[in-house]
Chain A
Amino acid sequence: MPTMTMAKALNAGLRRTLAADPKVLLAGEDIGSLGGVFRVTEGLQAEFGRNRVIDSPLAESGLIGTAIGMALRGYRPVLEIQFDGFVFPGFDQIVTQVARYRFRSGGRLGIPMVIRIPYGGNIGAIEHHSESPEAYFAHTPGLKVVTPSNPNDAYWMIQQAVASDDPIIFLEPKRRYHDKGEVDVDLRPEPLHAARVVRPGRDATVLCYGPMVRTCLDAAGAASEEGIELEVVDLRSLSPLDDAAMLASVLKTGRAIVVHEAVGSGGLGAEIAARLSEALFHALAAPVVRVTAPDIPYPPSRVEHGYLPNVDRVLDAVDRVLAY
């Protein structure tokens, strides 16, 4: 099996979709000769031409709005937003148009679009370059939201997202772009919206996604040295959530911790905690605890390490749920 970074795995996955389906188009700012600011599309314009890998004028609303039109003519646009904080000029088109087109047409007309967004912090960036906007999209009916945590998932999930007839917000954890992992190119992948137990355990379930999966696995390793066995679930899909997988794990352990970089209030953790308590009230041995960023905007990068969840904060939460 080849070993590659997440950025290379996404590149390989996109190359396969472009080769397999002439209706697949890539568009975004600087994705052509530059290959995107994270080099995810490197070499694709040279290989597939300017009509299929399109440098967009610098306008996110225009990028997304015109892609709706192309989708209506049978194309499958895969759009790159340069950084999480720059998706908002296109937010109107996503929320009022992309998400609702099928519903507005009485279920007849879909927009099979993928919007790739590098997200999350811990890269020492200036403001607007470290945001975690997933809750806005997960809150929007009509959109599906997924996020890989490792190169193998990145390779397969991008292909599954392009194949999806529903619009997909595809969140790429930018701090993990250069992490390497094995990619099994002959795999029969699991469904796009299925969560996965990435480490089995018995004492508590840690639910996480994207950039935090590595952090939670590290926390589980540390806990194990003290005899605490954490089950780590990589959610992979934030909308829809894989209720069956979450409930099965928490039913087994009786305790749950949700970890995300996004701020806590109104976040995915709140939704997940509500679902767990609604379904498993009598099976829970402790309240569902969230480990998130505090409810302030992303701070200056010199203090981002304290703002973002880390191994210690996950382990503190483990202590709290085990104290019940």
Chain B
Amino acid sequence: MKDVEDVATADPALDFVQLLTPDGVRVQHDDFDYAGTDADLAAALRDMVLSRRIDTEATALQRKGELGLWPPLLGQEAAQVGSARALKPSDEAVPSYREHAVAWCRGIDPLELLAPFRGTDMIGWDSVATRFHLYSFVIGSQTLHATGIAMAQQLDGRVGNEDPEQNAATIVYFGDGATSQGDVNEAFVFAASFNAPIVFFCQNNQWAISEPIALQSRIPLYRRARGYGFPGVRVDGNDVLAVQAVTTWALERARNGEGPTLIEAHTYRMGAHTTSDDPTKYRSRAETEAWRAKDPISRLRTYLMNAGAIDQVWLGALEVESVALAVRIREGCISLPEPRLSDWFDRAYAQTPAAIRRQGDVQRAREEA
């Protein structure tokens, strides 16, 4: 037993892919390299900064009582932006409930993200056009849906074509806690059995509400993949270069018909699980502070400044954009249209039974009284 414990608590830096250190220095890796330019990285920095702004504004809106709840993404911007930027428009992205930065990269309006948490809507965004699927709150359930989407892509002949434009893959997001669920393990089995074009993207943020990763797994999560018959890779989840490089490779494997990959993005949930949670009850300030030094945004900003790719003027312009976004979120949130209950009676079925239509009529009459 001791050996297993040693592996689980070993320094993850020994076996994860990192291309940018917390100090903002680019480093080489034997197997992976970031293929983009510094201009691409500046675009990634913009996505990360604006996603964080969406997140901070949403958290503040919850504190003011304008949202019922909010699950913050704080600290996970590189994992989300790096993986989302590896996607092609034809790929499908299937989120959990914290993928606000992936949503941003897929073109989802931040106000559409807020609406379910304000309780004015269920999930209103266009998941067909954006290929960014519905948030999923039942832990791990979406990994099976994503595997099915990938199996359908395969049935549709979107895998292994000579023309890469014809190929597509699916990425599914889930957390470390979800890996304990039966659904996730069944998804691994189905994906392997059918060689589905899927990337299992696990953001290991170290905590499932109050439960540390050690309670979910006694070996690094990425190593589980081998047991199911496909490769697993651990990446520094706070390094957007490494995340994008590894995800690009895994998606390309999937599109080429080489099957599933598990990516474990080693990151940290800097905030609470949700705004209802109090992390001071179960984890130390020292741990959180140690992770603050690995912040995904500051290391990229440092690198780009040192490389001369951005300057204070560029950052100033980004701040102006960020402030404008914040204003739009604050004003837009309180102006989100109020729902009417009577509008929901024809949304549970394609062909609403007459008795339920009558219930809707009663409700409408009540609202108009």
Pairwise interchain contact B340-A303, C-beta atoms closer than 8 A: yes
Pairwise interchain contact A294-B209, C-beta atoms closer than 8 A: no
Does residue A125 face the partner (Cβ distance < 8 Å to B)? yes
From residue B224, how far is it (CB to closest CB) to chain A in Å? 13
The docked-state distance in angstroms from the alpha carbon of A35 to that of B282 is: 10
Nearest A residue to B208, CB-CB: A58
Does residue A300 face the partner (Cβ distance < 8 Å to B)? yes
For the complex, count residues of B whose C-beta is within 8 A of A.
Answer: 44
Pairwise interchain contact A302-B339, C-beta atoms closer than 8 A: yes
Pairwise interchain contact B340-A59, C-beta atoms closer than 8 A: no
Nearest A residue to B281, CB-CB: A34
From residue B83, how far is it (CB to closest CB) to chain A in Å? 22
Pairwise interchain contact B138-A85, C-beta atoms closer than 8 A: yes
Contacts of A57 in B (CB 8 A): 180, 211, 215-216
Pairwise interchain contact B137-A128, C-beta atoms closer than 8 A: yes
Pairwise interchain contact A303-B210, C-beta atoms closer than 8 A: no
Stretch in contact with the other chain, from A25-33, A183-191, A215-223:
A25-33
Contacts of B161 in A (CB 8 A): none
Nearest A residue to B97, CB-CB: A126
From residue B116, how far is it (CB to closest CB) to chain A in Å? 6
From residue B257, how far is it (CB to closest CB) to chain A in Å? 32
Contacts of A58 in B (CB 8 A): 139, 177-178, 180-181, 208, 211, 216
Which B residues, 133 to 150, have Cβ-Cβ distances below 8 Å to chain A? 137-139
User: Interface extent on A, as a size class?
Assistant: 35 or more
Which A residues, 17 to 50, have Cβ-Cβ distances below 8 Å to chain B? 29-30, 32-35, 37
Per-position binary interface string of chain A over residues 119-135, scored 1 when its CB falls under 8 Å from any chain B CB and 0 otherwise: 00000111111000000
Q: Count CB-based A-B contacts (< 8 Å).
A: 112
Contacts of A160 in B (CB 8 A): none
Pairwise interchain contact A294-B356, C-beta atoms closer than 8 A: yes
Stretch in contact with the other chain, from B28-36, B323-331, B342-350:
B342-350
Does residue A55 face the partner (Cβ distance < 8 Å to B)? yes
Residue from the set A30, A33, A129 with the largest chain B CB neighbour count within 10 Å: A30
Per-position binary interface string of chain B over residues 326-369, scored 1 when its CB falls under 8 Å from any chain A CB and 0 otherwise: 00000000000011110011011000000110011001001100
Pairwise interchain contact A89-B138, C-beta atoms closer than 8 A: yes
B68, B137, B210: the one within 8 Å of A301 (CB): B68
Q: Given A32-B210, A86-B138, A125-B69: A302 and B180 within 8 A (CB)?
A: no
The docked-state distance in angstroms from the alpha carbon of A55 to that of B178 is: 15
Nearest B residue to A86, CB-CB: B138
Which A residues, 120 to 172, have Cβ-Cβ distances below 8 Å to chain B? 124-129
Q: Given A295-B355, A300-B339, A303-B340: A61 and B210 within 8 A (CB)?
A: no
Contacts of A86 in B (CB 8 A): 138-139
Does residue A299 face the partner (Cβ distance < 8 Å to B)? yes
From residue B214, how far is it (CB to closest CB) to chain A in Å? 10
Pairwise interchain contact A59-B339, C-beta atoms closer than 8 A: no
Pairwise interchain contact B116-A300, C-beta atoms closer than 8 A: yes
Nearest B residue to A123, CB-CB: B68
Pairwise interchain contact A302-B345, C-beta atoms closer than 8 A: no
Pairwise interchain contact B120-A126, C-beta atoms closer than 8 A: no
Q: Given A89-B182, A294-B359: A37 and B209 within 8 A (CB)?
A: yes
Contacts of A32 in B (CB 8 A): 210
Does residue A296 face the partner (Cβ distance < 8 Å to B)? yes
Does residue B234 face the partner (Cβ distance < 8 Å to A)? no
Contacts A59-B180, A86-B139, A301-B119 aside, 13 further interface pairs with beta carbons under 8 A come to A34-B282, A37-B277, A55-B215, A57-B215, A58-B181, A126-B68, A294-B359, A294-B363, A300-B115, A300-B339, A301-B68, A303-B119, A303-B340
